[in-house]
Amino acid sequence: MSSSLDHEVVKSLDVLRKIYDAGVVGAGGAGFPTHKKLNCKVEYFIINGAECEPLLKADQFIMQTRSEEIVKAADIIGKLLEAEHIVFALKKKYVKEIQALKEAIEKQGVRMEFFYMEGIYPAGDEQVIVHEVTGRTVPPGGIPLSVNTVVSNVTTLFHVYEAMQNRPVTSRYITVTGEVKKPSILKVPIGISLDNCIEAAGGAAIEDYKVIMGGPMMGKFVDKEQASNTFITKTDGGIILIPKEHYLVQKNTISIAHMINQAKSACIQCSYCTDMCPRYLIGHKLRPHRVMRAMAVNNQEEEALKDALICCECGICELYACPMGISPRKMNIHVKGVLRSKGIKYTDTEIYTGNTQMKDFRQIPLARLISRIDMKRLERDIAFEAIEIKTEDVRIHLKQHIGISASPIVGIGDRVVKGELIARVDEEALGANIHSSIDGMIAEVNADFIKIKSEYSGVNA
């Protein structure tokens, strides 16, 4: 008995070691190191295939075309976690993806469940998904593990499958869409510039644009001029080109001082921002209207300000709920930064179940959201075939994950091959290893990144 248990422990360590070696991190969010996340036992293992950000398609692509690899990884992880339930959570409209996954499950003779979601935003929020699938609320400021659950994104699972074949994370599938001539799914090396991704998608279709890294609701805005100097990491699933005068660009450029003035002069304290907040609706005491009020009266209510610390920055309050067009989300981000700099933490872990009663009546259909944020005109058909992109150089960040930066183990002039370890963290530390994503020569090493030049010239498309 004990020898078979020992065997299981060794096998678990083997799996975690391979994931650590390969530098796998959560591909759908902040990049939590996967070997750390999976070092536990839980009741539920939920595979997040919601891909709820408007216009992004790479997760859907991967579910359609890499379903066997995803199911194999789900089985390995499910056993590692000793999960009673391995649940694919995805939108019921993803008919082809569901079919592909079901065929792979049947072929492999494994037992997995499906949870079908409506086409709402933010269906893929980790804590919303846990609430939907298990009926449990992750305590504010907590993680799914506290309710006996682990959630992983489908692309992370694909990377885990690759790790089991001793192939580290050196590339990822991304969506490139919006104002490009050939909206595409690209397989790009980690560290490729945004400019090269745009070029590979046929180039920009308009002269003046901004780039959203990620989705329109939670993505980061990058100036056109910075696109050659901004690089894809393990956590980036897509880029969207939007006109410079687009509504979202204008929303994104308002200053802190202007936001505080808006809170004072335009916030009517209707509390729609709170009523529609998905975290409030799963039972968290997050009330953005109170943060706005506290800021309007010059930070007199510190207890109310602390709510900002549990905001997931989904954007519903400012891009959908607020009738005055003001920005509670941005205010929360500002307040969060101020409180964290003072070392103030959120401590109220109570769950307000009364908030959840209205949840089902306040769901936001994705189609309506897309119209509201004026993205309908940027929706494009995308062929579901991945184009593999080569590039002449990459700049690979040493911190593409939560935790400490990886330490370089190469120097200028060293020759490296694709998949070779170039920066590492100790297995016990919170962080992830980094590998070369191309064959080439190390051109620069500093505290932030490693630059590698290949012999390849230009970008293929």
Residues at the site binding ligand SF4, with contacts judged by CB under 6 A? 267-273, 277, 279, 286, 288-289, 292, 311-317, 321-322, 324, 326, 328-329, 332
Tell me whether residue 24 or residue 311 sits nearer to ligand SF4 (CB atom). 311
Nearest CA-CA partner of 284 in 341, 371, 354, 219? 354
Tell me whether residue 58 or residue 311 sits nearer to ligand SF4 (CB atom). 311
Strands (E), 154-237: 171-178, 184-189, 209-213, 220-223
C-alpha R_g of the chain? 22
- For 134-165, b/e burial (b = at least 16 CB within 10 A) is bebbbbbeebbeebbbbbbbbbbbbbbbbbbe
Helix, coil or strand: residue 408: strand
Got the DSSP string for 217-256?
Answer: TTPEEEEGGGGGG-B--TT--EEEEEETT-HHHHHHT--H
Q: Minimal distance in Å, beta carbon 387 to ligand SF4?
A: 34
Q: Minimal distance in Å, beta carbon 221 to ligand SF4?
A: 16
Q: Minimal distance in Å, beta carbon 31 to ligand SF4?
A: 20
- Partners of 365 in the beta sheet? 120
Tell me whether residue 201 or residue 314 sits nearer to ligand SF4 (CB atom). 314
Q: Minimal distance in Å, beta carbon 113 to ligand SF4?
A: 28
Q: Minimal distance in Å, beta carbon 421 to ligand SF4?
A: 38
Q: Minimal distance in Å, beta carbon 262 to ligand SF4?
A: 8
Tell me whether residue 227 or residue 291 sits nearer to ligand SF4 (CB atom). 291
Tell me whether residue 40 or residue 270 sits nearer to ligand SF4 (CB atom). 270
- For 282-314, b/e burial (b = at least 16 CB within 10 A) is bbbbbbbbbbbbbbbeeeebeebbbbbbbbbeb
Q: Minimal distance in Å, beta carbon 118 to ligand SF4?
A: 18
Nearest CA-CA partner of 337 in 268, 402, 291, 280? 291
Query: Do 146 and 139 meet the contact criterion of CB atoms below 8 Å apart?
Result: yes
Q: What are the tokens at 434? A: 């980094």
Cα–Cα distance between 70 and 58 in angstroms, integer? 14
Strands (E), 361-461: 364-365, 386-388, 393-397, 407-408, 415-416, 421-424, 434-435, 440-445, 449-453
Query: Do 293 and 267 meet the contact criterion of CB atoms below 8 Å apart?
Result: yes
Tell me whether residue 275 or residue 392 sits nearer to ligand SF4 (CB atom). 275
Q: Minimal distance in Å, beta carbon 434 to ligand SF4?
A: 31
Per DSSP, the chain holds a count of helices (H) and strands (E) of 17, 19
Tell me whether residue 25 or residue 364 sits nearer to ligand SF4 (CB atom). 364
**CA 92-96-99 angle, 5° bins:** 85
Q: Minimal distance in Å, beta carbon 93 to ligand SF4?
A: 23
Tell me whether residue 284 or residue 435 sits nearer to ligand SF4 (CB atom). 284
Tell me whether residue 60 or residue 327 sits nearer to ligand SF4 (CB atom). 327
Tell me whether residue 67 or residue 262 sits nearer to ligand SF4 (CB atom). 262
Q: Minimal distance in Å, beta carbon 82 to ligand SF4?
A: 32
Q: Minimal distance in Å, beta carbon 364 to ligand SF4?
A: 10
Query: E strand or H helix at 281, and its extent?
Result: helix 278-281
Query: Do 396 and 424 meet the contact criterion of CB atoms below 8 Å apart?
Result: no
In this structure, the number of other CB atoms found within 10 A of the CB of residue 275 comes to 16
Q: Minimal distance in Å, beta carbon 306 to ligand SF4?
A: 13
Q: What are the tokens at 399? A: 């911190």
Region of residue 458 (left: phi > 0; alpha: psi -120 to 50; beta: else):
left
Tell me whether residue 317 or residue 422 sits nearer to ligand SF4 (CB atom). 317
Tell me whether residue 149 or residue 271 sits nearer to ligand SF4 (CB atom). 271
Got the DSSP string for 36-55?
Answer: HHTSS--SEEEEE----STT
Quick check: bond before 122 cis, omega within 30?
yes
